[in-house]
Amino acid sequence: MGAQEFVTLLNEIGGKLAEPAKHVLEIWIRQIMIFGIVDIVVGIIFFFVGLIFFNMWLNEPEESKNRRPPDDISTLAFLAFIGFIGGVFGLGLVLRGFMLLLNPEYWFVTDVLGFVFGG
């Protein structure tokens, strides 16, 4: 059920009482769409920071790899792992943000899918 059908149903049931509900619903949907835009921006930032960390790990100089013991994890490898997690989280946020912009009245579904995909 979309927002307009919901408002129509409220109008049929409550008459004049539905007008404030319609106003509140429109404000609520607008706020959800703002959250979608914020999710897209933050997700893109997370993705590119993760990409930078992963690239730093791939281009680590060979002499720094040879200096540490074999069982020691490098700081860049740890940052690459954090970057990978951040990249997946960022893509999940971008996906959730676009879903919120396309269908703001289905915010619960986008929250569940965004959580599944890392957002």
13 assigned to some structural domain: no
- Give CA angle at 81 (35, 77), nearest 5°: 145
Res 106: pLDDT: 66
Res 59: pLDDT: 77
By residue range, what is the domain housing residue 112?
19-61+73-116
38 assigned to some structural domain: yes
Could you tell me if 24 and 31 are in contact, meaning their C-beta atoms sit under 8 angstroms apart?
no
Could you tell me if 21 and 79 are in contact, meaning their C-beta atoms sit under 8 angstroms apart?
no
Among residues 74, 82, 75, the alpha carbon closest in space to that of 51 is found at 82
6 assigned to some structural domain: no
- For 56-76, write each residue's pLDDT tens digit: 777 777 766 666 665 556 676
10 assigned to some structural domain: no
- Mean pLDDT, 10 residues at a time, over the chain (119 residues)? 68 60 70 74 78 76 65 68 75 74 68 60
3 assigned to some structural domain: no
What does the DSSP assignment read for 38-54? HHHHHHHHHHHHHHHHH
Cα(7)–Cα(4) distance, integer angstroms: 5
* pTM listed for this prediction: 0.53
- Overall domain count for the chain: 1
